[in-house]
Structure 1
Amino acid sequence: MFGGNKWVPKGQHCYVTGGSQGTGLSLALILVKQGAHVSIVARDANKLKQAVEKLEQARQNSDQIIRWYSHSLSTYEGAAAALEEACKPFGGRAPDVIFNCAGSSRPAYFIEETPETFKTGMDNTYWVQAYTALVASKMMARQKAKGKIVFVASTLAYFSMVGYTSYSPGKFALRGLAEALRSEFQLYEIAVHIYYPCTIYTPGYIEENKTKPRITAKIEESDSGITPEQAAEGILQCVQRGKFQHASDWITSLFRSATRGAGPGDVLDPLRNLASWNVIELPVK
């Protein structure tokens, strides 16, 4: 709780998925400003080029390696190709930290989903991060590299509601994956972290509002949300302080405490448990 920062980005190779915009780009900017080598990965090459221009303006020295790679990460083959390409400038060595910021949401009523949209939902929430973690962990274990793998979940990984039937299940799955890997990866000295943000006001948020049911938007009215910069700072704090899991706000912390699972808690959890004891159930009418 009072240990301060335990990890310094300077000189580290940080691999950021979803780095072309939103939270991923904000995180990449912070890392570059702190002297890290940064590789960003996303699908849109034009957005990646524009993102790297911003990163170049923030570089601290000429030795920093700042690159972009255009790949789809929702398949194992795409995730493997992206990571292999990003490691070439470093002699094939695995990145020091994998930041899984890629993901998207398309809210809708469950009865409106199709097999295709439902599968896409899992691809864009779970597989887009899980495949990268799988590829990276194999590389780290093979090279005996003591790296870090960071997942970005959501408040909706602790509870769900109408409108998020193709989004929340993938975030719940990320939570389960992170808890399992936290245990298993002690064998390889690979650290695992997971960050739980509330609403983040990104370009992706604008897109998801185009399909969001009115009742979902109504329920979310009390969610004040955070900026991509605030989310990026939260992710970085999670890693720097050596925390397995970190929530972005008080409400998310309440849900984390009340549904802790196999993850470690902190000294404030007893108070959070009291506060969350009488959480009001959403009406179904």
Structure 2
Amino acid sequence: MLGTTVCLAIVISLIIGFSQMFFRKKWDPRSQHCYVTGGSSGTGLALAILLTKKGADVSIVARNEERLQKALAELEKVRQTPNQILKAYSFSVDTESGATAALDAACEAHGGQSPDATFLCAGKSTPGYFVEQDEASLRQGMDETYWAQAFSALAAAKHMVRQRSKGKIVFVSSVLGYMSIIGYSPYSPGKFAIRGLAETLQSEMMLYGIDVHICFPCTIFTPSYVEENRIKPKVTLKIEETDSGDTPETVAAGILRGVQKGRFHITYNFLGDVFRASTCGSSPRNSYFIDLVYGLIGYIALPIWRLTVDSTVRSFRQEHQEHLAGTGFLDPAAAKK
């Protein structure tokens, strides 16, 4: 009976997979208004350039005006038609008022119409040990990760629903939204929260015909990643020393490919696929059969990988104690007990 059920599940998954492959209409960004937060650098800029090359109208949003103008010049270099609308807007999007103002400004150039696709790439990582954080730094971490995307998603959803427009909301989390390790206490909670929001909206936005996607990139080699590594705990750097990483262009291509295929959870490499298949719960699967294989690999390999991570952490205990003593964090009286 169990064998029959498994075979039936495999047959159904293959039928679904082939039907999606041959009958799903591939989303085309050409002539679509694509709104990209965090669009002045890194993955956001790479995605904006890719969308421009595909013939989309692109609006990029970021805080730094100088970087925005340089980014806009990059978009102009790959303009496909004279009619493409390419704009840059300087706003902070980690508040509802800022995110709403940014979206309204971008919509003005399109007659007030909602964007066809909202790509939420804004975010920043400021790693460190949890015991060295305070209220301000933990709140800042949520501002830089969760709120920087949540408020833009809220503004976009309200805009589309009021206008009865269909469109796409695309979040960018991280593989650290599937799991986490030492050093990422200010960062990972926000990435997990983004996943929680995306899971909720993937269900709720069905009421309005709005598609929701979320990407889980691994290490991305950007200037901000270089800055991040300067303050990252040594033990975290040790754990990550074998990471291959990806360029922003690779990540951008993976995001667009996943959106075009209609995938909810978007991963674009082997490691991401293993974590996705191992932790996606009841989320829509990319492929029932292939995800079963990735899930089996994860069931075997991930606990082994975690053991090596835990071993590395334990090996840094003495060095970490010396670090805390050097910063004056430890109670000197406690050493005498």
- Give the alignment of 1:13-28 within 5 angstroms: 13-28=33-48
* Aligned match of 1:173: 193
- Give the alignment of 1:183-202 within 5 angstroms: 183-202=203-222
The CA deviation at 1:235 is 0.7
Larger radius of gyration: 2
Q: Greater CA deviation, 254-263 or 95-104?
A: 254-263
Could you say what secondary structure the match of 2:47 adopts? helix
| Residue 278 of structure 2 is aligned to residue 258 of structure 1 | yes
The CA deviation at 1:219 is 0.5
In the alignment, is the contact (CA less than 8 A) between 1:16 and 1:39 conserved in 2?
yes
Residue type of the alignment partner of 2:290: L
* Aligned match of 1:233: 253
The CA deviation at 1:261 is 2.2
Unaligned runs of 5+ in 1: none
Q: Partners in 1 of 2:30 and 2:295 — Cα distance? A: 38
Q: Partners in 1 of 2:64 and 2:201 — Cα distance? A: 30
Residue type of the alignment partner of 1:247: T
| Residue 21 of structure 2 is aligned to residue 32 of structure 1 | no
* Aligned match of 1:272: 294
* Aligned match of 1:58: 78
Residue type of the alignment partner of 2:68: L
How many percent of aligned residue pairs carry the same amino acid? 52
Residues 40-63 of structure 1: per-residue CA shift (max 9 Å, x gap): 000000000000011111101111
The CA deviation at 1:262 is 2.8
Large movers: runs of 4+ above 4 Å: none
User: Which of these residues, 133, 137, 156, is aligned with residue 136 of structure 1?
Assistant: 156
Q: Partners in 2 of 1:12 and 1:173 — Cα distance? A: 29
Q: Across the two proteins, how many residue pairs are aligned to each other?
A: 285
Residue type of the alignment partner of 1:277: Y
Q: Partners in 1 of 2:268 and 2:26 — Cα distance? A: 20
In the alignment, is the contact (CA less than 8 A) between 1:179 and 1:262 conserved in 2?
no
Structure with higher RCO (Cα < 8 A, 6+ apart): 1
Q: Partners in 2 of 1:192 and 1:118 — Cα distance? A: 27
Could you say what secondary structure the match of 2:109 adopts? helix
User: Which of these residues, 85, 94, 100, is aligned with residue 105 of structure 2?
Assistant: 85
Q: Greater CA deviation, 252-261 or 145-154?
A: 252-261
* Aligned match of 1:125: 145
The CA deviation at 1:171 is 0.5
* Aligned match of 1:73: 93
User: Which of these residues, 221, 224, 227, is aligned with residue 244 of structure 2?
Assistant: 224
Q: Partners in 1 of 2:77 and 2:294 — Cα distance? A: 42
The CA deviation at 1:5 is 6.4
Residue type of the alignment partner of 1:80: T
Q: Partners in 2 of 1:227 and 1:248 — Cα distance? A: 12
* Aligned match of 1:245: 265
Residue type of the alignment partner of 2:165: A
Give me the TM-score of the superposition, normalised by structure 1. 0.98
Residues 159-197 of structure 1: per-residue CA shift (max 9 Å, x gap): 001000010000001111111101000000000001110
Q: Partners in 1 of 2:273 and 2:227 — Cα distance? A: 27
Unaligned runs of 5+ in 2: 1-16, 315-337
Q: Partners in 1 of 2:43 and 2:126 — Cα distance? A: 18
- Root-mean-square deviation (CA, aligned residues, Å) is 1.1
User: Which of these residues, 168, 171, 185, is aligned with residue 148 of structure 1?
Assistant: 168
Give me the TM-score of the superposition, normalised by structure 2. 0.83
Q: Partners in 2 of 1:217 and 1:255 — Cα distance? A: 20
In the alignment, is the contact (CA less than 8 A) between 1:198 and 1:248 conserved in 2?
no
In the alignment, is the contact (CA less than 8 A) between 1:17 and 1:40 conserved in 2?
yes
* Aligned match of 2:323: none
CA separation of 1:105 and 1:263: change in aligned 2, threshold 3 A: same
The CA deviation at 1:158 is 0.5
Could you say what secondary structure the match of 1:128 adopts? helix
